[in-house]
Structure 1
Amino acid sequence: MKKIFIITERRADYSRFKPIMNLIKKDHYLDYILVVTGAHLRKEMGYTKDEILRDGFKIDYEIDMFKDDSDSGGAMVRSFSRVAEKVTFCLEECSPDLILAGFDIGANLAVTIAGAHMNIPVAHIQGGEVTGTIDESIRHAMTKFSHYHFASNEDALNRLVKLGEVRERIFNVGCPSIDAILDTPDNPDILNKYNLSKDNYFILLQHPVTSEMEKSKHQIQTTLSAIDKSKINVLIILPNNDAGFSEIIKELKNSKINYVESLGISDYINLLKRSSGLIGNSSSGIHETSTFNIPTVNIGSRQTGRLRPKNVFDVDHNEEQIVLAINKCIEFKRNKIKVKNPYGDGKSASRIIEIIKKIDLSNKIIQKTITY
């Protein structure tokens, strides 16, 4: 039996790991070891560890990485260092056959680096994507510490080849978050739960950009001003805790717009697919909204360069541009425009599982050499 080590820090990575872990649970030849850390263990971020347990997953280890409440790049590095140290003890104790890491999230970077140093094969989900900001640097660093790569599209696959990775170890499987959202049961009562009117609200999810953290306050003020000018109903989801988050949260809480600290996968997907659009800079606006033909107002640089479906309207932190994009979203919904999601078809998890069963996990693949 192959033991697969997974660490999850927040909703963004859990939503992608969930369909994979569901398939592992059903497979006689595979087992998973799950570490929960980061936002999952913070009450002010929804304590989403409870959601993981409700979904029927066992949790093998917990690592408290966010002990520093200061809002700075230094605090992010200190959090990273905590999980990087503690995850090594988990790895030594459970001796996994494979680390399944992903995306551009700190805890996943930590376990990728640890695995490479501890001679444990690492498979990375969604490498090769262009995202801008510190996230892109993290993502490409993880690529270089990983031995196998599960790309979400052909564009990302080609970039991984250009990064010097062995072509035979790169697989175009799509993004497993599409599996998760398509597997989410419909909840017709979701609007009543959040006091919303049918097809008459937007969702706002705007995260800090670490390289622009000193502009966070002005950026969110511009977004809120555009929303006020557009006279639209909005449900706010508070941002992650990357550097620059505190100014954003302060402005959002003072805006008198309804907000939630966090949403589980089920509530988020059910709200998203009934909405008039997603406003902000979340990767969900690039990866997920097109599956439901929901338009996105993508603001600023956080998703710069990422492959886009045709439902995405890119704008700067400019009130007039945001208002115009909101109007385009309303028109998009009114015309019932259909688009194709370039990030997958809902079958990514099954492809990943089948590949994991076949790949070589011996010491022969540990030593990496750039291909050019």
Structure 2
Amino acid sequence: MKKYKVAYVTGSRADYGIVKNYIRFLDKDSNINFSVLVTGSHLEKKFGYSVDIIKRDGFNIELEVPLCIDNTNNANVINSMATALKSFGSYFEAHKYDLLIMLGDRYEMMAVAIAAAMQRIPILHLHGGEVTYGNYDEFIRHSITKMSQYHFTSTETYKERVIQLGENPDRVFNLGALGAENCCKIAVEHVNEEIKSLTPEKYWVVAFHPETLTNVKLEEQVKELLDALDVASNEHDLIFMGTNADTKSDIIRSAWIDYVENHKNAYYFENLNVDSFLYLVKNSLALIGNSSSGIIETPSLGRYTINIGDRQKGRVHGNSVIDVKCNKNAIIQAMEKIYLLTNKKEEIYNPYYIENTAMNYYEKTKEILNRESNVLKEFYDLK
């Protein structure tokens, strides 16, 4: 039986944490030579050097491509993309794969996808078809879709949208979101001891990132959010999560660190492994910010999300997500609403959850590998 060469490429702690249980199945398969290709914020000191998490998990890292990320403006971000394109282009010239797996919509993933497509390496794209109108992830995600041969989507709506983009329905599969299932499999023994020491339902978790396609001023958004959190901090702790590597995200990071240094009941975590983060949110009052984790994962943890601004605008979401403008009073009102909802104990619905998602991803991946390999595809026209 043929031994397939498969790699997962990761650029941040977020996408790696989502897929860990899935790629563990691939890694354990004796008929698959599996490895991880690492780039992006994983290899940056200011983002916590999260490649160490992958190493501790025991995966074979076959390649590391540092990008020396300077996200102060879009020109510098584009330079990082150019570095990724050049490095991965050269690497894929000498190293061929039966399948390259990537998730989502990061700018470094765009560069990797171009390099793989040009080198005729088949791509399996996860989380295609989603929309996020407030960020450049929006057009990057759809562009990666067009360079990919296979697609695992997280809802039926997104599956239909990938097909609408001209992808053959025989290569598009709605298997649910891995992150939604991960919430049901938290390994408590891997949870950070400092996280375990926090009193349940006595703190808010804050995960906030820049909007890169809107005209809003990030400094004003940060101020509105912190002013709202100041009110909440009178009674509860605040847990700030490190932001991503998007343009101007350092403004957010600096604001969080400054706030924590001046408030005894505020904490900052640059990086947490996936079990620690999910445990943290599961025991919180709610997640506040504009992270996709508030839309996809948090409902499976039985917690509410205050989704701020337009970064996630367009995503399918369940009844536990409260959309608000980035306005102090609107955020405070949403927090007050969560107090009431928590006491009512209403049932929370997550449209991204499908049972046995990681196993289904693995089995479908095996099915794809056993198909005749062909990177050529035709545009599928809707009937």
Same fold (TM over 0.5): yes
The alignment status of 1:259 with 2:260, answered yes or no, reads no
Bigger shift: residues 209-218 or 38-47: 209-218
Residue of structure 1 in register with 2:17 after alignment: 15
Residue of structure 2 in register with 1:243 after alignment: 247
Residue of structure 1 in register with 2:331 after alignment: 322
2:221 and 2:127 mapped to 1: Cα distance?
28
Instruction: Report SS of the residue matched to 1:39.
Output: helix
| Contact kept in structure 2, 1:116 and 1:145, CA below 8 Å | yes
2:182 and 2:301 mapped to 1: Cα distance?
13
Please list, as runs of the form range in 1=range in 2, the aligned pairs for 1:34-73 lying within 5 A after superposition. 34-65=36-67, 67-73=68-74
The alignment status of 1:74 with 2:84, answered yes or no, reads no
Change (3 A) 1:69 1:95: same
The alignment status of 1:28 with 2:60, answered yes or no, reads no
1:285 and 1:112 mapped to 2: Cα distance?
27
Tell me, which stretches of 5 or more residues in structure 2 are unaligned?
none
1:35 and 1:165 mapped to 2: Cα distance?
26
TM-superposed deviation, 1:252: 1.8
Q: 2:316 aligns with which of 278, 303, 307?
A: 307
1:322 and 1:301 mapped to 2: Cα distance?
14
2:191 and 2:160 mapped to 1: Cα distance?
43
Q: Identity of counterpart residues, as a percentage?
A: 32
Bigger shift: residues 99-108 or 56-65: 99-108
Instruction: Report SS of the residue matched to 2:25.
Output: helix
1:286 and 1:46 mapped to 2: Cα distance?
24
Task: Letter of the 1:325 partner, please give it.
Answer: A
1:25 and 1:220 mapped to 2: Cα distance?
41
| Contact kept in structure 1, 2:150 and 2:171, CA below 8 Å | yes
Q: 1:366 aligns with which of 346, 366, 376?
A: 376
| TM-score calculated relative to the size of structure 2 | 0.91
TM-superposed deviation, 1:189: 7.6
Change (3 A) 1:37 1:337: same
Residue of structure 2 in register with 1:354 after alignment: 363
TM-superposed deviation, 1:192: 4.5
1:136 and 1:193 mapped to 2: Cα distance?
33
Task: Letter of the 1:160 partner, please give it.
Answer: V
Task: Letter of the 1:366 partner, please give it.
Answer: L
| Contact kept in structure 2, 1:19 and 1:179, CA below 8 Å | no
Task: Letter of the 1:253 partner, please give it.
Answer: I
Change (3 A) 1:314 1:70: closer
Instruction: Report SS of the residue matched to 1:258.
Output: strand
Q: Deviations over 1:198-235 (max 9, x none)?
A: 21101001111122476111101100101112333211
| Contact kept in structure 1, 2:125 and 2:151, CA below 8 Å | yes
Task: Letter of the 2:254 partner, please give it.
Answer: K
Please list, as runs of the form range in 1=range in 2, the aligned pairs for 1:50-129 lying within 5 A after superposition. 50-65=52-67, 67-129=68-130
Instruction: Report SS of the residue matched to 1:182.
Output: coil
Q: 1:225 aligns with which of 213, 224, 227?
A: 227
Task: Letter of the 1:237 partner, please give it.
Answer: M
The alignment status of 1:138 with 2:148, answered yes or no, reads no
| Contact kept in structure 2, 1:272 and 1:289, CA below 8 Å | yes
TM-superposed deviation, 1:47: 1.2
1:198 and 1:363 mapped to 2: Cα distance?
50
Residue of structure 1 in register with 2:177 after alignment: 175
Bigger shift: residues 189-198 or 28-37: 189-198
| Contact kept in structure 2, 1:152 and 1:172, CA below 8 Å | yes
1:70 and 1:311 mapped to 2: Cα distance?
32
| Contact kept in structure 2, 1:37 and 1:62, CA below 8 Å | yes
Change (3 A) 1:189 1:261: closer
Bigger shift: residues 183-192 or 6-15: 183-192
Instruction: Report SS of the residue matched to 1:269.
Output: helix
Which contiguous aligned blocks of 4+ residues in structure 1 show a shift greater than 6 angstroms?
A: none
The alignment status of 1:288 with 2:276, answered yes or no, reads no
Change (3 A) 1:57 1:181: farther
Instruction: Report SS of the residue matched to 1:24.
Output: helix
| Contact kept in structure 2, 1:173 and 1:351, CA below 8 Å | yes
TM-superposed deviation, 1:48: 1.1
The alignment status of 1:6 with 2:15, answered yes or no, reads no
| TM-score calculated relative to the size of structure 1 | 0.94
Instruction: Report SS of the residue matched to 2:132.
Output: coil
| Number of residue equivalences | 371
The alignment status of 1:344 with 2:345, answered yes or no, reads no
Task: Letter of the 1:228 partner, please give it.
Answer: D
Instruction: Report SS of the residue matched to 2:250.
Output: helix
| Contact kept in structure 1, 2:163 and 2:169, CA below 8 Å | yes
